[in-house]
Amino acid sequence: MAVTKAKAFTIGRLASEVGINLETVRFYEREGLLKKPPRSRNGYRQFPVDSIRRLRFIRRAQDLGFSLNEIRELLALRASSGTSCEEICRLAEAKLADVEAKIRTLESLRDSLRKLAKSCPRCAPLSDCPILECLDGDEA
């Protein structure tokens, strides 16, 4: 969606521009990821245009698997004049290592489940089901 030349956005318009739910904007505001905006005389929040960029940043970071705390850290580093690209890269590499560890765990789970499924004769009585026996067992 193209951003209009408005100077400020209501929460509904902001959510619409970014493609997120109103409650998500409120949540990010409560979490301190989005600054509390000034209010108009009629009480409406007036989010500055740069809120769109910030919300898109948050959403993209979440899509890449960054937690809210990690996003908070990225935003703080971005705002710091002394931050180097190396510091941001360090966070991205840490997230990559985390993702690779999760992939290894999932691959191991897949292999274990595949082995269990192959061990099942499918025609044995329930009391002889190797899958249930494995789940009941003391072995890890």
The pLDDT tens digits along the chain (140 residues) read 455 567 899 999 999 999 999 999 999 999 999 999 999 999 989 999 999 999 999 999 999 999 999 999 999 999 998 989 999 999 999 999 999 999 999 999 999 999 999 998 888 888 888 899 889 887 65
Please tell me whether residue 39 adopts helix, strand or coil conformation: strand
CA 95 – CA 73 distance, rounded (Å):
13
> What confidence score (pLDDT) does residue 105 get?
98
Q: What are the residue boundaries of the structural domains of the chain, listed by start?
A: 1-67
Query: For residue 39, what are the β-bridge partners?
Result: 45
pLDDT at res. 24: 97
CATH number assigned to the domain covering 1-67: 1.10.1660.10
pTM comes to: 0.78
CA dihedral 77→19→36→67, nearest 10 degrees, is -40
